[in-house]
Structure 1
Amino acid sequence: MRQRVMRVAVVAVLVALVLLATPLALGIQTSFFADERDELERTALAAAVHVPPFVVGGHVGLPPHERGIDVGVYDLSGRLRNGSGPRADAVARTARKGLVVRGRGDHRLVVAVPLSTGEQVIGTVRASSSTAEVWRRIVLAWLGLAGIALVALATAVAVARRQARTLSAPLEALSAKAGAVADGDLTARAEGSAIAEIDRVARTQNTMVEHLTRWLEHERHFSSNASHQLRTALAGLQLGLEAAATGPDAEQRAAVTEALEQVRHLQRTVDEVLRLARATPRPGVPTTARPATEVVEGVERRWHGTFATGGRRLGVAVEPGARGLSIPDRAAEQILDVLLDNALRHGRGTVRVTVRETGGAAAAVDVSDEGSLELGLRAVFERGATTSRGGSGIGLTLARELAEAAGGRLTLGRSEPTTFTLLLPVTEPPPSDGWVPRRRPDGRCPMGDVPQV
């Protein structure tokens, strides 16, 4: 990366220097020759002004001139009357016509001007200088130009090296973070830089790693979530089948019916756990919903015998304002199973399930017992946290994930007595007419175990 940036910068500077220096060098050459001819013309004109009219055989005086310039005065016959120079050449002869003539001859620059008195040309003044001296000055100017170009190139290389380091350092750091992620360090995050494009790539990589981390954690928790949820349903199924195997024929049908209900619930549990494993880890919209009364009836039927076997009491109640509210049934069943199992294992006394309206687009389900919670409000929902040695420490974490996946929320209302509150979105408003609770097959009202709150 650094070498490539430097090569691009150096090539660009070289092209710019060539495009700039070539016409500049040609301009220097043209300018120096033009300046030399102008100097020769000025010298010749000054001599022509100062030379007095002369007669044949008379002395001709010349004014002083610069060193390296030959100045000669010629008469109309082409004879050199004073100064230095060869016999009158074509340039000097052309100047007899009253013209200022510039030309070259024998590696010299030549300028000739007419010498006149009144309106009559009586001779010419010729000035010349060597082209070698002009080329010497041109070469020196070119060398100065080349030196300036080298300084510019060295400056460009230094700037390119610094810019290459500025550009490559964030990319090298980004590559190092990507390598760390590839090696399994999902906590590695790319840092921002002063370059907007690289900073955008870093943010995109961090977002990708965060999503990947959530997905991997999601998949990692799936097996523990599935085993936790399936264990409760399998336990209920085992109790039903054991009762069917040991009881009389009259009770066998009821036991088998209850076992079949447990099997159906087990199937729903498998579907819900699989849905949670496939779902994007963010609040979603549930696919099915049922009245909250039906949901708590089913929960009460499944857990009534289990609590009775343990010498505990389970009661459910629905406040008048919450009758007829429809909630996500599968998520609610799974979460209530977790909360009831948690209350049975770690709680004490009577367990109460109360459904109430919150006054908004959500229904609240409170699950409370007569025990107290030893863990803090934050630690209670952490994966692996448990209040006893017999727990796995993932039930409440799973319940919160199920609630969030259904668009709801699970919180700890009170530590003593322990009360968990489940908020679920309401999919249908309550009916305007009265509501009559459904009765269980044995004729008892499932809401009659606990007085209405």
Structure 2
Amino acid sequence: MRQRVVRVALTAVLVALVLLAVPLALAIRSSLYAGQRDALERAALAAAVRVNPDYARGDPAELPAAASGQRLGLYDPRLRLHTGTGPRTGDDAVGRALAGKVTRDSSGGELVAAVPVSHAEQVIGVVRASSPVAEVRGRVFAGWAVLAGVAAVALTVAVLVARRQARALAAPLEDLSRHCRAVAEGDLTARAAPSTIAEIDQVSRTHNDMLHSLTELLRHERNFTADASHQLRTPLTGLQLTLEAGLAQDDTRPALEEALAATRRLHETVEEVLRLSRPAGLPRPVTPDRPVRELLAHAEGRWHGLFARDGRRLEVAVQDVPDDVRVPGGPVTEILNVLLDNARVHGRGTVRVTVRDLDDALAFDIADEGAMDGDGVRLFGRGHSGGGPGAGIGLALARDLAVSLGGRLSLARAAPTMFTLLVPVRREHSGPQDDTGQGSR
């Protein structure tokens, strides 16, 4: 990844340097040559205006001193060198200048500028200025060397910037790859850290959201398995004992009726566990509402014999609860079963179930004469059972069921132990018709 980013960056820089450096190198060469020719032409013009028109009749013809690396010479109309320096016979540039035009040329390894000397509208001579081509070529090479140095510096800076950017781009992706590898090895708590690159952060957030969804799905599956095994173990044992007792009797009808009732309870338990196991965001099946008194009578009928078998009492009391109050039957029944089973296994003495009316909710108090040690919050964690750590998950399941109803389950008192379940209620009664013809609720 990093090498690829560096290669791409260097390729782009090299293409840009070529596209800029080649035209610039040509421009440097052209500019230096043109500048030298302009300098020669100015020198020749300056010398031409100082030439005495009577030099052909023997008067002296003086030329200004030539600049370093330049040669100045005055040629007569016969192309002979009269004064100054230069070839003894004028070249093509001098011959063309005799026609009255300023001429630029290169010959014999020199750059040449020839300027005609005029008098009385006649050309009476030519001033020739020249300089070696090698001198200009040396300046061109020097300019190209500077250009190459600038290009090398630019390329070096580009390499450093490209490597830094490659690290900045690759580091978050490498981190994301490490987290994916950790997830593949079983660490579902691994999360990709944010970076400074928006696009990579978006990928990281999507990865984390996907991992969170998978974790929740796996948690729901594990909870379902644990809840099902926990809630079905006792009813299945009771069903087995009922069937075995029925086999030992001549009249098996009571045993079959009890087994059928146990089967119905198993079916309701499975339905509630399945309903609770659905991931968040998915609609859950609506459980039918049941009157509170009917629900309590059913719970008392199921658990009274079990407590009596252990030499304990079960008391159920309803305080000022109207007959029209209804609660979700399946979940509340399952929660009461968990709490009563917890009181039977871990509690002591008489167990009291009291229902209080709180207008918009009902409070179910399940109390016994035992004591509960430990933190009331940890008590509802999975892997905690009764008053000490264990493998039970009944209270955790009951809490989740209560939350799914919009209610709450808490430890109201540790000694003597009392759990309180708050459940939103629905009241059904007839009333005056409203404007839409519907009865009020």
Range into which the TM-score falls when normalised by the shorter chain: 0.7 to 0.9
Q: What is the rounded CA distance, in whole Å, between the counterparts of 2:288 and 2:357 in structure 1?
A: 16
Amino acid in the other structure paired with 2:95: R
- Which residue of structure 2 aligns with residue 373 of structure 1? 372
- Which residue of structure 1 aligns with residue 169 of structure 2? 167
After superposition, what is the alpha-carbon deviation per residue over 1:347-387, rounded to whole angstroms, capped at 9, x for unaligned?
22332333444444x54433222322112112211222233
- Which residue of structure 1 aligns with residue 234 of structure 2? 232
- Offset of 1:267 from its aligned partner? 1.5
**TM-score, with normalisation over the residues of structure 2?**
0.87
- Which residue of structure 2 aligns with residue 220 of structure 1? 222
- Offset of 1:263 from its aligned partner? 1.2
* 1:327 match: secondary structure: strand
- Offset of 1:141 from its aligned partner? 0.8
1:400-439 → structure 2 map (5 Å cutoff): 400-426=399-425, 428-432=426-430
- Which residue of structure 2 aligns with residue 449 of structure 1? none
* 2:56 match: secondary structure: coil
- Which residue of structure 1 aligns with residue 91 of structure 2? 89
- Which residue of structure 2 aligns with residue 59 of structure 1? 60
Unaligned runs of 5+ in 1: 434-453
Amino acid in the other structure paired with 2:397: L
Q: What is the rounded CA distance, in whole Å, between the counterparts of 2:237 and 2:107 in structure 1?
A: 120
- Which residue of structure 1 aligns with residue 383 of structure 2? 384
After superposition, what is the alpha-carbon deviation per residue over 1:186-229, rounded to whole angstroms, capped at 9, x for unaligned?
23332222222223333333333333333333333433322221
Structure 2 contact 52–59 (Cα < 8 Å) conserved: no
- Offset of 1:266 from its aligned partner? 1.0
Instruction: Quickly say closer, same or farther: Cα 1:349–1:283, change in 2 above 3 A.
Output: farther
* 2:10 match: secondary structure: helix
Tell me: higher relative CO, structure 1 or 2? Use CA pairs within 8 A at least 6 residues apart. Answer: 1
Q: What is the rounded CA distance, in whole Å, between the counterparts of 1:55 and 1:253 in structure 2?
A: 155
Q: What is the rounded CA distance, in whole Å, between the counterparts of 1:319 and 1:283 in structure 2?
A: 37
After superposition, what is the alpha-carbon deviation per residue over 1:288-343, rounded to whole angstroms, capped at 9, x for unaligned?
22124233332222222212222222233444456433433222222211111001
- Offset of 1:254 from its aligned partner? 5.1
Instruction: Quickly say closer, same or farther: Cα 1:121–1:165, change in 2 above 3 A.
Output: same
Q: What is the rounded CA distance, in whole Å, between the counterparts of 2:91 and 2:382 in structure 1?
A: 111
- Offset of 1:38 from its aligned partner? 0.7
Instruction: Quickly say closer, same or farther: Cα 1:282–1:412, change in 2 above 3 A.
Output: farther
After superposition, what is the alpha-carbon deviation per residue over 1:266-303, rounded to whole angstroms, capped at 9, x for unaligned?
122123223434x1157964422212423333222222
Amino acid in the other structure paired with 2:221: E
Structure 1 contact 284–406 (Cα < 8 Å) conserved: no
Q: What is the rounded CA distance, in whole Å, between the counterparts of 1:304 and 1:69 in structure 2?
A: 128
- Offset of 1:171 from its aligned partner? 1.9
Structure 1 contact 288–329 (Cα < 8 Å) conserved: yes
Structure 1 contact 300–316 (Cα < 8 Å) conserved: yes
Amino acid in the other structure paired with 2:196: A
Q: What is the rounded CA distance, in whole Å, between the counterparts of 2:401 and 2:127 in structure 1?
A: 111
141, 144, 147: which one pairs with 1:145? 147
- Which residue of structure 2 aligns with residue 20 of structure 1? 20
- Which residue of structure 1 aligns with residue 47 of structure 2? 47
Structure 1 contact 322–430 (Cα < 8 Å) conserved: no
Instruction: Quickly say closer, same or farther: Cα 1:235–1:65, change in 2 above 3 A.
Output: same
* 1:316 match: secondary structure: strand
Q: What is the rounded CA distance, in whole Å, between the counterparts of 2:282 and 2:319 in structure 1?
A: 27
Range that drifts further, 32-41 or 321-330: 321-330
Range that drifts further, 147-156 or 283-292: 283-292
* 1:55 match: secondary structure: helix
- Offset of 1:60 from its aligned partner? 1.8
Structure 1 contact 285–407 (Cα < 8 Å) conserved: no
- Which residue of structure 1 aligns with residue 289 of structure 2? 290
Structure 1 contact 400–410 (Cα < 8 Å) conserved: yes
Q: What is the rounded CA distance, in whole Å, between the counterparts of 1:106 and 1:55 in structure 2?
A: 28
- Offset of 1:166 from its aligned partner? 2.0
Asked if 1:73 is matched to 2:83, the reply is: no
**TM-score, with normalisation over the residues of structure 1?**
0.85
1:316-331 → structure 2 map (5 Å cutoff): 316-321=316-321, 323-331=323-331
Amino acid in the other structure paired with 1:365: F
* 1:190 match: secondary structure: coil
- Offset of 1:391 from its aligned partner? 6.8
After superposition, what is the alpha-carbon deviation per residue over 1:112-131, rounded to whole angstroms, capped at 9, x for unaligned?
11212354432221112232
Structure 2 contact 194–204 (Cα < 8 Å) conserved: yes
Range that drifts further, 394-403 or 95-104: 95-104
After superposition, what is the alpha-carbon deviation per residue over 1:64-114, rounded to whole angstroms, capped at 9, x for unaligned?
011322211122232221112232333323333433222333443221112
* 2:12 match: secondary structure: helix
Q: What is the rounded CA distance, in whole Å, between the counterparts of 1:324 and 1:235 in structure 2?
A: 36
- Offset of 1:238 from its aligned partner? 4.6
Structure 1 contact 114–123 (Cα < 8 Å) conserved: yes
* 2:129 match: secondary structure: strand
Q: What is the rounded CA distance, in whole Å, between the counterparts of 2:118 and 2:274 in structure 1?
A: 117
Structure 2 contact 342–386 (Cα < 8 Å) conserved: no
- Offset of 1:392 from its aligned partner? 4.0
Q: What is the rounded CA distance, in whole Å, between the counterparts of 1:30 and 1:325 in structure 2?
A: 101
* 1:50 match: secondary structure: coil
Count how many residue pairs are aligned between Structure 1 and Structure 2. 428
* 2:57 match: secondary structure: coil
* 1:366 match: secondary structure: strand
Structure 1 contact 286–328 (Cα < 8 Å) conserved: no
